[in-house]
Amino acid sequence: MIRALLFANTDTNGEMSRDGEMREKVNKFESEPVSYRALPAIAFTNSSSSPENRNNNPLSKASQILFYQYVEPEWSKAKMKSVLGFMRQVGDELGVTGRGRISQEGANCTLTAKDPHSAREFCNRLRKFDKIFEETDFKITDMVEHSQRFKRLTLVPKDELVAYGLEKEKAPSLKQNKSKHVNAIEYHEMLKDKDSVVIDVRNHYEVDIGRIEPPEGGATFLNPEMRNSREFPKWLNLPETKKQLEGKRVMMYCTGGIRCERASALISQMERVGDLKETKGIAMVRGGVDRYLKTFPESGGFWKGKNYLFDLREAQMAEKEGELETTSKCCACERAWSKYEGKFVCGDQKCKVPVLVCDGCRNVIEANTKKNSFVKRQKKGSNGNTWIANKTKSDDKNDPHDVKNLRCPLCKVGKELRSIEPVDSAAQKRLLTLEGGNAKINASNKRPRKESKTLFIGKLPLSVTATEIKSALKLNDDNNAEIEWMMDSKSGFFYGSAVVKLASKDRCRSLLEQYKKDPPRIQNKFIAVGYFDEDWKNKNRKKMKEKEEKKDNDAKEDGGKKRRLAEEEYKRLFRKGERPPVT
């Protein structure tokens, strides 16, 4: 049966149209972010106020708050500490609990409030504290049971909001990100496009219990099969991954949207430097699966299964479909199962991701664990024969109900990305900086540097040597290469710049092409390389000439003194030697 979308701002039931199409309820209001607008009102039903229906009254329930906010340029350490302190203070005042990561690059929090009013007050206080939070999409869920509230507020300072391993100089720019945020309704329609791929940016143990299944003839689903977010840049660096994205519209999603921010920025950066062939655009669903399921509350749209949550609710799913048929299985007995209970993890010491264990196997494992623990204590206290002493090592290894033998689906098939090199985001950023510099000069109508036979080298360590520069620039075998240190015209000090004179312009051009693909480093830091503006000397000569014209008589009497002064000035500002001179 074909489904058609029935748009509604309030809850309505699915209807059958005259032509036999099933009209699906779509909550259009939930598809839009609350950035720069009022927070959603508390939803009361007609029966909420009656005493016998107190359980349906949102004021008697707790509320959930999910939000993240990136900042670029990033906060100073002092600013980050002030945001952290303010959140703790307001959280304590309003009884808000939960977990959060606070970084110089922003904030990422999963919180619970004792009631809907406290949840909204917390968000509004943040908006007043700093205007950056006005653009934050606060996702508030009311009617949460108090048993699902966090016990305390834990806000932890971190280097990254999402642990991609893309902190500081490795972080792809969000402002230069070419990807689009689209609402859940538009995203739903895009999933029908056969020239699209949709990437699930979550960990495999999350994907295992629920994911988007595009319609037949629609987008191709891609699962990176990663154990943690640090493996995403590694998956992107695989040749087969790049081939799958080539010429496609790249769509992505995650739980609440934050993981897609850096992930999409990295793909956009790869595309701009040519590490990834041109796509037909990059798009992410605004608000992640959370907003998608709230927009399609009955059937879940193209979502199948459960949305894994990092809070006490554990999972989120469509209203009417309940416990969906799932392909996920208990890791011990292979029975169909989709609920993470007991905090069981993969027994591989390099893995340790959560694994699914059904009720029956959980009872056996817990009983065995208690029995083993008791026997070990007995064995420690006496030399008598025990149950554990009679077991062989092979018995332990083959017992599927031993916690050490539990294995996640990826370990069972030998899938791993640990050995793969990640995308070199820092090198790509350096390359974009070199190219972007000229772009900015052109945009401001300033003259770009012309091709020359001299290279300018910047951002050098103050302890650098000429040998290190030649090695970094691959000039060890070039006897014509000549390095001169640039000194500051006022102070006479060396501040990290030099020039390299080469034999020809063609030689300069070919080297710069190599540096675009493999940016040079010295002492593990990238350096800036480009054409040296040889007109710099001409400018100085022109100034000297103007002064000479004003004092023609003096210039003639000096007999070439001006020319000698210009040469001395050049020698003062450009010094030769193995190391920069110390003045």
CA angle 12, 309, 224 (to 5 degrees): 105
480, two tokens: 């014509």
Q: What is the CB neighbour count within 10 angstroms for residue 7?
A: 14
Q: What whole-number distance in Å separates Cα of residue 96 and Cα of residue 148?
A: 13
Q: What is the 3-state secondary structure (H, E, C) of 118-132?
A: HHHHHHHHHHHHCHH
For the record, the structure tokens of 268 come out as 């956009």
The contacts of residue 10 (CB under 8 Å, 6+ apart) are 27
> If we measure between CA atoms, which residue out of 333, 328, 325, 391 comes closest to residue 362?
333
Residue position matching structure tokens 């196997």 = 361
List beta partners, residue 182. Answer: 285
Helices within 329-405 (DSSP H only): 359-381, 393-398
Q: Which of 123, 254, 260, 331 is catalytic?
A: 254
Clarify whether 333 is annotated catalytic: no
Helix (H, G, I), strand (E, B) or coil at 549: helix
Provide the strand spans (E) within 51-169: 62-70, 97-103, 106-113, 139-144, 153-157
Residues paired with 98 in a beta bridge: 111, 153
Q: In 3D, which of 115, 136, 112 has the Cα closest to residue 124? A: 136
Helix pair 425-443, 505-517: axis angle to 10 deg:
130
Enumerate the active-site residues: 254
